[in-house]
Chain A
Amino acid sequence: MKMTPSLIVGGSVAIFASVLYIAVLLPWSTTTREPSDIFRWRTPLEERGRQLYVNNNCSTCHSQFIRPIDWGLGAERIAQAGDYIDERPHLLGTQRTGPDLSQAGGEHPDDWHLAHFINPRYVRPESLMPSWEFLGMENIEALIAYVQSLGFKMADYRMERQRYWKEKAIEAYEAGTDANVAWLHERVPKPWRNLPNPYGTTEAGLKRGQKIYQGFCIGCHGPIGDGMGPAAPYLYPPPLNFTTLKGRGVSGGILYYYIMNGITGTAMPYFKRDLESEKIWDVGNYVATHFIGETDAGQPPKGIEASYEPPYGENPYGGEEPRRER
C-alpha cells in the first residue's frame, strides 16, 4: 500500500464519517424521545439551578443514573432513557465522590440543603464536597430548587411529604418540649417504644458509638448533644437537645427507630442506608449514656442472651438495678 498524503487524509475522513454514523448518528436517531412515567419539565428556577450545576461541574463527583447493582441514595428506580429527554448537556457523570443525585429531590427538606451548601460538613461531617457559600444566597436557592426537582414526579411526591411533615413537626416543636417529646413518642410503633437496647453497655461499644456520632450526628446535635452543632442556625425546627430528655422515657427502641427512619420534614435524615443494626444500637446507646444520662441498654426483656456479651449491669448510668433472669 503506497501511503500518500491524500490517501491518509481521505482515508481518515472516510473512516471518521462512517464511525460517526454508526456510533453517534444511529443511536441519536433511534433513541427514544418519549418521556418516561416520572418525567416532567423543569421550572425556570430549577433550570437556573441546573445551569449553576453545569457551570460548576458538579457532575465531577455526582453521577445521575442508577444502575441495577446500586445501593444507596436514589436506588429505588433504575434509570430509563426516557428520564433524560430534556438533558442538555447530559449530566450522567463518571465519578461518585458524592452520591448519585438522579433521585435526590425530596430526600431532605430545603433547610438541610441550605446548611449543606453553606458547608457540607455541617450536616455530613465526613463529606469531601466544597463549601458553596461564596455563590451567595440567591444562587444557593436556585441550586436547592434544582436538587429538589431531581427525580421529577417522584421528587415532587417526596417534596409534598416533606412539606406536610414539616408543618406537623413545627407545630409540635412550638408546643414546648413536653408536647414535642410526646408527639415524637406517639409516632413510634408501640413494640419499638417498649424495646430496650439489646446490647449491653461496653466501653468498646460506646467508643464505636462515639465514632459514628462524630461521623453522622455531630454537625446538628453538637459535640455535647445539646443540639447546638454548626448546622443548627440554619435548621427549623432545630436539632433535638438530648440533654433535656432524662426521665422522659426515651427507650433504646425509640432512638433506634428515629435514627433508622429519620423525622421527615425536619433536617433529621434516615440513616438506614448508611448504618445498620449494631451500628445504630451503638450510636443510640452513646447518645443515651453520654447526653441523655440514662440508658436501658442490656436490660430486660432481653430474650436469649447473646453468647459474646458481658454480664448485665456494668453500666454506671443504668436506671435500674442489674437483674439476671434465669
Chain B
Amino acid sequence: MKFEFLKEEPHGTTKAFFLSSAVWMVLGTTFGFIGAIQLVAPELLANIPWVVFSRIRPMHTNAVIFGFVGSGLIGCAHYLVYTLLRSPLYSEKMGKLTVWMWNLAVLFGSLTLSRGYSQTREYAEWIWPIDILVLAALALMFYNLFQTARRRQEKLLYVSVWYVFAGLVFTFFIYFFGNAVWNPATGSITGMPDGILAWFYGHGIVGLFLTPLAVAIAYYVIPIVCRVPLYSHTLSLLGFWSILMIYTHIGAHHILQAPTPTWLKVIAITGSVAMLLPVSAVLVNLWLTMRGRVANMHATIGGKFVFAGTLWYLLTCLQGPLQSLPSVQKVTHFNNWVVAHAHMGVLGFSGVIALGGIYFILPRITGRSLHSEFLAEMQYWLVLVGMAGFFTVLTVAGLIQGHGWLQGETVYRMLPQIHIYMVLRLAIGVLIVSGAILGLYNIFMTLHGSRGKEGSS
C-alpha cells in the first residue's frame, strides 16, 4: 500500500484527528509524568536539557491542550458539523491538510520548547512560526467547515453547530491577539498590559477553544444516547450567548493580586461569579435531557465518558468562581490548588468529553464496534480515578502551601511539607499515562486492526 499524504477516504479527517489525539494523549501525559518525577527527585534527570522541568512543563500543557484534547475535539467537531448538516465535508483533502498542519505544530512546538526556544507566556510558549502554523490550520478548518455549512441539506442549525463555529472563530482571534503575532520576536506587548493580554488569552484558550467544542459534543451525544429531544431551545440560546459574553472578560483573575487596574479586577471577579449562569444553563439543559435516562448514558462507553465529563464540568465551574474571590485567592494563588483546578478543566471536563466523543463516533465511522470495549472501560476508570486522585492530592498540597505562606513560612520551608503529595501525584500519574496508552492501542486497532480490513481495503 502506497502512503498517501492527503488520502481521501470517508471520514478520513475525523479518523486522523482521533488518532492524533490518542498519540498526543500518550506523549502529553508522559511529558507531565517526566515533570512530576522532577518534583519528587530533582537529581534523577539532572542536566538532561531536553526534559528539564521548566521546558517539559510547557511541553506538557501545550501537548495536552492542543495535541490531545484539541485534536480529539476538532475531530469530533468535523463529524458533528457534516452529520448534523447532512452534507459531506467540503474537502477531505483540505481536512487532511489541517490534520498534518495541526500535528506538525504540536510536534515542532514540543521540539522547539525542549531545545529552549520559548516565548514563556503560559500556553503561548510556542514561537512565532508555530503560531502561524496553528492560525493557518484554524483558518483552513473554519473555511472547510463553513463551506460545508453553506452546502448543507439541513436548514436548521443544531446547538452543537453553533458552538463549533463560535469556538473556531474565538479560538482564531484569541490565538492571534494572545500570541501578539505582530511581534514575532517576543510574541508579546510591553509591561503590565502584556500580563493582562496574556491572561485574556490563557484563560480564553481553555474557555473558548476547549469548552465550546466539548459542550458541542455533549449536546450532540446526550440526546442520541438517551433517545429524547433536547430539553430546551431557550436554555441552549442562553447558555451559548452568555458564555461568549462572560467567559471572555475574566482572564484578569489570574493576576488579581498584581498591580492591574482595580476596575479590571472588579470585572474579572464579577464575571467569574457570573460564569455560574452559562454553566448552569448548559448543565440544566443537558441533565434535564437525560432525566430518568442516566442508565442509557452508562450503557455505552462514549455516553459514559460524556456523562463523567459533565460532572467534572460542574465541579470545575463551581470551583472557578469560588477561587476568583480575593479572600480565597489569598490562600489558593501561586500553589498546587490551581494545578488541581487546571487538570479538572482540561482532563476531567474537556479531555474526558473528547474521549467520550471519540468512542461514541468511532463505531459510527468505521462501521464496526470498538476493538475492545473492555480496554475502553479500563481507560475510563484509570482516567476517572487518576483525575479524582490528582484533584485531591494537589488541592491538599495547595492548601498546605497556601496556609503556610500566609502564616509567614517561606516557599523553601514549605517544600518538604508537600513532598509526600508530590510522590502521590507521581503515583497517580501512572494511572493516567496507562490510560492513555490503552486508549492509543484501542483507537489504533479500531481504525487499522486486521479485524476490520473488510470495511476499508
Contacts and interface: CB of A to CB of B under 8 A. Distances in A.
Contact of B412 (A9, A56, A81, A124): A124
Interface in B232-258: 237, 241, 244-245, 248-249, 251-252, 254-255, 257-258
A92 B258 contact: yes
B111 interface: no
Interface stretch (A66-74, A107-115, A163-171, A291-299): A66-74
Contacts of B53: 60-61, 128, 130
A126 B416 contact: yes
B410 A24 contact: no
Contacts of B113: 57
A90 B188 contact: yes
Interface stretch (A28-36, A143-151, A200-208, A232-240): A28-36
A30 to B, nearest CB: 7
Contacts of A30: 261
Contacts of B132: none
Contact of A130 (B46, B190, B194): B46
The DSSP consensus for interface residues of chain B is helix
Interface string B401-432: 10001101111110110000000000000000
B259 A80 contact: yes
B191 A73 contact: no
B274 interface: no
B138 to A, nearest CB: 13
A5 B145 CA distance: 10
Interface residues of B, number: 84
B238 to A, nearest CB: 10
Most B C-beta atoms less than 10 A away, residue of A53, A59, A95: A95
* Interface range, A side: 35 or more
Contacts, number: 236
A126 B417 CA distance: 11
Contacts of B406: 69
Contact of A85 (B150, B190, B198): B190
Interface in A42-91: 53-61, 63, 65, 67, 69-73, 79-81, 83-91
A71 B194 CA distance: 26
Contacts of A53: 120
A213 to B, nearest CB: 14
A12 interface: yes
B125 A9 contact: no
B157 A89 contact: no
A303 B333 CA distance: 45
The DSSP consensus for interface residues of chain A is loop
Interface string B78-101: 000000000000000000000000
Interface in B36-63: 38-39, 42-43, 46-49, 52-55, 57-58
Contacts of B166: 8-9, 11-12
B177 A20 contact: yes
Most B C-beta atoms less than 10 A away, residue of A11, A69, A119, A130: A130
Nearest to A81: B259
B377 to A, nearest CB: 35
B117 interface: yes
B301 interface: no
A273 B410 contact: yes
Contacts of A124: 412
A23 B408 contact: no
Contacts of A129: 42
B396 interface: no
B333 to A, nearest CB: 8
B192 A84 contact: yes
Given A9-B165, A57-B118, A127-B42, A95 B334 contact: yes
Nearest to B174: A16
B189 interface: yes
A72 B407 CA distance: 11
A28 B335 contact: no
B264 interface: yes
A85 B189 CA distance: 10
A3 interface: yes
A31 B193 contact: yes
Contacts of B150: 5
Contacts of B177: 20, 24
A36 B418 CA distance: 37
B384 interface: no
B248 to A, nearest CB: 4
A19 B338 contact: no
B120 A89 contact: yes
B196 interface: yes
A98 B410 CA distance: 9
B122 A27 contact: no
A72 B196 CA distance: 26
A304 interface: no
Contacts of B42: 120-121, 127-131
A282 to B, nearest CB: 15
A224 interface: no
A274 interface: yes
Nearest to B245: A15
Contact of A57 (B49, B58, B248, B338): B58
A248 interface: no
Contacts of B267: 22-23
A67 B331 CA distance: 12
A273 B412 CA distance: 10
Given A92-B258, A128-B39, A131-B46, A85 B191 contact: yes
Contacts of B174: 16
Contacts of A23: 196, 200, 248-249, 251-252, 264, 267
A255 to B, nearest CB: 20
A56 B334 contact: no
Given A9-B169, A13-B169, A96 B335 contact: yes
B320 interface: no
A253 B156 CA distance: 83
A306 interface: no
15 contacts: A1-B237, A8-B161, A9-B166, A12-B165, A19-B245, A20-B200, A23-B200, A30-B261, A56-B52, A87-B195, A89-B187, A94-B122, A130-B42, A130-B53, A134-B52
* Top 5 A-B residue pairs of the complex, sorted by shortest distance between their CB atoms: A89-B188, A19-B248, A28-B193, A90-B195, A90-B194
Given A56-B54, A87-B191, A215-B416, 6 more contacts: A8-B157, A8-B165, A13-B169, A55-B118, A71-B408, A273-B410
